[in-house]
Amino acid sequence: MDEKLYYGRGKDCDNKKLIAFLDEVFFIDDEPETKRDFISILPKIYHDEYRPAYNNFVVQDENGEFRAAVGNFNIDLDVCGEKIKACCIGNVAVGLKYRSMGYMVDLMEMSVEEMMNNGTDLAYLGGQRQRYGYFGFEASGVSYNFEFNKKTAKHIFGGRKSNLRVEKLQENDTESIEKIDELYQKNVIKASRPHKDYYRIVTSWRHNPYVVYDGNEFAGYFFIDYGCSWVSECAVTKPEYYGDLALAALEISGKDSIRFNASPFDKEKHGFFTVNSENISVGGCESLLVLNYEKVLKAYLKTRASYTSLADGELKVLIHGKKADERLRITVKNNEVSVEKFDGEVEIEFSHTEATRAFLSNFSFEREKLNSAAQQWFPLPAFIFSVDQM
């Protein structure tokens, strides 16, 4: 590292300067009339009160000008009652004049080292798989996508419109926010969403949040993306409302077709969409870096057991993890999960990346090496809602 440059966490006094730097790097080619900026795209983390500069590892020259930045945003996850300390990597940026000088590598390594030192269990990001694979991240998670279109709707509903009334969520509508959060909290995997920040969270990535009513009674909600092509999150108070919510979202979109994203554990949603969708696909979620396999495997295996029956069995594995080696015994009996350290002989040994693929990726030849019971346990449902990503 060049001794004349500053490497470390950003300073609070540089919040605005940092955001201007990020806007220039990411959005320099935007047309003026549609130009984006980080404050509007991610209001939940780039306002001064959230200390955006401090939550970045940066490279600055002697004049304080930024050359590179890597966001490092902590977030608490509740995974089937297990508390997971997570960190999201965001806004990985290198100034246009400073590409291919190793700044991104230096800052990513600083970020991962910080996570290992502060007890982070799991990190995630969105980005090129091979680019971030050098730092231990691997494409992971499971999500379902359901296409619902006008032709499908006509066959199912005979061309009628939705019976639900739709209103766009307003920032000061605390009553609706509380009701939305009540539904969100029913998810077996969820992130911390403080009510004071709720509107900023649900409008992240320029989502438009809507509330649906049956008459004057709250019936559910949905978040639709800026381009009105997909619903990243939705929930209803009664399963029978899903049909009318789908119609309502299709009407709001103004398009012939719309895609609904769903987690693996949302069985009520699957009940409607697997029957009434035109196309269904299974995709990944984010790229994950597991720093505590014992804790992460236990939490997500418990999650899987919460919505499906797991085969009885045992797996003894040695994982050469990014942070440390972990020798684990994984047991399922009567759908009860145990993951614990042990000192005996193992039946299989994985590198860090092999373990991530075997346990958390949709498709993995490494999984074929597991015993038959263990093959049925995976992939684990690592899922994070779009508005909770950074």
**126-141, pLDDT tens digit by residue?**
988 889 999 999 999 9
Confidence of residue 34 (pLDDT cuts 50, 70, 90): confident
Q: How far apart are CA 10 and CA 64, in angstroms?
A: 10
Confidence of residue 57 (pLDDT cuts 50, 70, 90): very high
**360-386, pLDDT tens digit by residue?**
999 889 999 999 999 999 999 999 999
pLDDT of 20 over the 80 cut: yes
Question: What CATH number belongs to 290-377?
Answer: 3.30.1050.10
Is 371 within 8 Å of 347 (Cβ atoms)? yes
Chain region(s) in the chain for CATH 3.30.1050.10: 290-377
CATH 3.40.50.720 fits 6-120, yes or no: no
**pLDDT at residue 186, rounded to an integer:** 97
- Identify the CATH homologous superfamily for domain 143-283: Gcn5-related N-acetyltransferase (GNAT) (3.40.630.30)
**pLDDT at residue 192, rounded to an integer:** 95
**172-190, pLDDT tens digit by residue?**
999 999 999 999 999 999 9
Is 136 within 8 Å of 289 (Cβ atoms)? yes
**pLDDT at residue 245, rounded to an integer:** 98
Burial class (CB in 10 A: 0-12, 13-18, 19+), 344: exposed
User: What b-and-e string marks burial along 180-219, b requiring 16 or more CB atoms within 10 Å of the CB?
Assistant: bbebbeebbbbbebeeebbbbbbbbeebebbbbebeeebb
Q: How far apart are CA 206 and CA 377, in angstroms?
A: 36
**216-259, pLDDT tens digit by residue?**
999 999 999 999 999 999 999 999 999 999 999 999 999 999 99
**pLDDT at residue 223, rounded to an integer:** 98
Chain region(s) in the chain for CATH 3.40.630.30: 6-120, 143-283
Query: How many alpha carbons lie under 13 Å from residue 11 in its C-beta half-sphere?
Result: 10
Q: Average pLDDT for residues 281-293, to the nearest whole number? A: 95
